[in-house]
Structure 1
Amino acid sequence: MGPSAAGRRRAAELVFAQGGGRSALIRQIAPYPFHITRPFALDAERADLATLYLQSASGGIYRGDELSLRIDVRDGALAHVTSQAATVVHDTGARPASQHTVLRLGREAFTALTLDPLILFPGAELDTRTEIHLAEGACAIFAEGVAWHDYSGEGRPFGRLSSETLVFDGGDRTAVIDRATITGAELAGAASILGAGAGAFGSALLLGPTERLPEAAAIEDMLDRTGCLGGACAAPNDMGISVRMIAPNGGQIVRAVEGLFSLGVERMLGFEPARRRK
């Protein structure tokens, strides 16, 4: 049985700071259904890059859930937060669920938030909002994906997905606004607006000074190798690069996000990161 129709209102908070040659998790609030591992130093070349796996202790996102996550990465700290696996969004009925994420980066900080796809079940409705606040010299990678699945095999669509992503510069000026709403009916069958055979899509932002970002052509070459149809272009106000991806399934979106993380780290931090195993 899932949570009651009342839903859950839960807020998690993670704060990273630099100290002793490492990036330490100095504050954590992770109420149910959030669960986190301890931070790992997975890269021999940069032991100061902390990697943390964000997990769900429940069976996914349910009717009426209001979940929020705030990640603060203070001056000079380096943090990578990723999910352990895909997250199922169940039938929400008349009460859509919501997710609100805030990333706040200090000066010369680095943050990557790379999430495995949401899996939208029939009847699922979800509103997401992500805010990214960048101080001077900060670099960020934000990547997410969506797939859909009818466990009954009847081809029933999910309800609706609405997303909003906002990027703020060092003075908290709104520099990028990205909003979209799509229904499951628009993606159903051969008439899908994404094209026949599409079963997943994703988006990403690589943010920071231009000289510390990968080339758009390199990103598109990587997407081709993963089997994704994708494109990369400059984000508004010289904030970075915006990426869109379409794929037959969520697994290919996962591989594309891994590739974006690797390309981003190589340019932003100057080394090839180790694979994050899940």
Structure 2
Amino acid sequence: MKVPSVPELDPYQDEPRQAPSGRIGKTGILEMRFEDRGDRSILAHLYRKTPLLVQQALYWDEALPGMPCVYMISTSGCVLQGDRLRIDIDMGPGSMAHVTTQSATKVHEMDANFAFQQQTVTLASNSYLELMPGMTIPHRHARFVACTDVTVEPTATLLFSEITMPGRKHQRGGELFEYDVYSTAVTAKRPAGEQLFAEKLLIEPAHRPIRLAGVMRDYDVFANVVLLTPKEHADAVLDRIAPGRHDAVIAGASRLPHDAGLIYKVLGPESAPVRAQVRKFWASVRAVVLDEPIPPVPLWG
């Protein structure tokens, strides 16, 4: 797997003393294609390579019984130094799916190299995908870079969320922003190649202050939610969103360029209120695009 050349990775090109980066057991691959079969969508194609795993599609959403729900699993338990992970999701015409993770993504402490994840998402006409993984928790001295590349038809909808913790906040007296690098980039384009938008978030706590106004200030948890959808849907969702302070969090939405959709950001002191605010946005998207509710909070949520 080719890792893009980004300057934040220049200091971390050494190899682990254990298994070298990108070797067997450290190159995880997931390839999934969803197709519409009339009464339901199905996971028509699945390829998996450890340490990434998907077992099967489940149909537990009572509001959308024809929508497959897929859990991405890490067989190693967390992201390790030298890991190279690739996730490809292909949505066929008219298909729908909800893709998440079995738990939070824990990026383990590192003393060499880095971990990299590449996601490629393709949405055909009238398809609908909720790509909503659990929180990312970068441990002390973690180096994690993620890139998500989306190709989306004008009639399709993608709801993609990322929730990032400051570290193991309550571990050993707290690990707040003690990781080395957290870098995540999202780009989107039309099938013909027209670029819709690009955004990159780079956090290097040892080199750039985190607690500034306009960065994190007094907040610890950050959520970034991207909604790619037709303009009429984006307008209707935006009408339902009340920006500003909501209990313990602060949140706001902005329009993406080229009438591509919306981007929604949430800051909060803990994960629970941030996740609750993301759920409110998710509920608005479901109501507008599908005229259905989101599922209740699970007992383990």
Q: TM > 0.5 between the two? A: yes
Q: Report the equivalent of 1:94.
A: 112
Match of 1:153 among 173, 178, 199: 173
CA offsets, 1:39-89, max 9 Å, x none?
222344433222112222222111111101001110000111012211111
Secondary structure of the corresponding residue to residue 285 of structure 2:
helix
Aligned residue type for 2:18: S
Q: Would the alpha carbon gap of residues 21 and 224 (structure 1) be closer, same or farther in structure 2, given more than 3 Å must change?
A: farther
Q: Report the equivalent of 2:102.
A: 84
Secondary structure of the corresponding residue to residue 204 of structure 1:
strand
Q: Structure 1 stretch 83-92 or stretch 187-196: which is displaced more?
A: 187-196
Contact 1:64/1:92 (8 A) holds in 2: no
Contact 1:266/1:272 (8 A) holds in 2: yes
Is 2:270 the counterpart of 1:244?
no
Is 2:217 the counterpart of 1:195?
yes
Secondary structure of the corresponding residue to residue 282 of structure 2:
helix
Deviation at 1:257, TM superposition (A): 2.8
Aligned residue type for 1:98: F
Deviation at 1:180, TM superposition (A): 2.1
Secondary structure of the corresponding residue to residue 49 of structure 1:
coil
Aligned residue type for 1:153: G
Q: Would the alpha carbon gap of residues 174 and 188 (structure 1) be closer, same or farther in structure 2, given more than 3 Å must change?
A: closer
Aligned residue type for 1:83: T
Match of 2:137 among 112, 119, 126: 119
Deviation at 1:119, TM superposition (A): 0.4
| Mapped partners of 1:37, 1:224: distance in 2 | 40
Q: Would the alpha carbon gap of residues 276 and 40 (structure 1) be closer, same or farther in structure 2, given more than 3 Å must change?
A: farther
1:62-77 equivalent positions in 2, closer than 5 A: 62-77=80-95
Q: What TM-score, normalized by structure 2, do the two folds share?
A: 0.83
Contact 2:139/2:175 (8 A) holds in 1: no
Contact 1:91/1:121 (8 A) holds in 2: yes
CA offsets, 1:127-158, max 9 Å, x none?
11001111231011000111123533264611
Contact 2:30/2:53 (8 A) holds in 1: no
Match of 1:218 among 240, 252, 256: 240
Aligned residue type for 1:26: A
Is 2:184 the counterpart of 1:166?
no
Q: Report the equivalent of 1:264.
A: 285
1:29-44 equivalent positions in 2, closer than 5 A: 29-44=47-62
| Mapped partners of 2:209, 2:264: distance in 1 | 20
User: Between Structure 1 and Structure 2, which shows a larger proportion of strand residues?
Assistant: 1
* RMSD between aligned residues: 2.5
Match of 1:25 among 39, 43, 57: 43
| Mapped partners of 1:18, 1:154: distance in 2 | 46
Q: Would the alpha carbon gap of residues 53 and 67 (structure 1) be closer, same or farther in structure 2, given more than 3 Å must change?
A: same
Deviation at 1:164, TM superposition (A): 1.0
| Mapped partners of 1:212, 1:87: distance in 2 | 31
Deviation at 1:21, TM superposition (A): 1.1
Q: Structure 1 stretch 13-22 or stretch 251-260: which is displaced more?
A: 251-260
| Mapped partners of 1:65, 1:3: distance in 2 | 14
1:4-23 equivalent positions in 2, closer than 5 A: 4-7=18-21, 8-23=26-41
- Percent identity of the aligned residues? 21
Structure 2 unaligned residues grouped into runs of 5+: 1-15
Contact 1:67/1:98 (8 A) holds in 2: yes
Aligned residue type for 2:155: G
Is 2:75 the counterpart of 1:60?
no
Q: Would the alpha carbon gap of residues 218 and 96 (structure 1) be closer, same or farther in structure 2, given more than 3 Å must change?
A: same
Match of 1:230 among 241, 244, 251: 251
Number of positions where the alignment pairs a residue of Structure 1 with one of Structure 2? 275
Match of 2:225 among 204, 222, 240: 204
Deviation at 1:35, TM superposition (A): 2.4
| Mapped partners of 2:182, 2:229: distance in 1 | 28
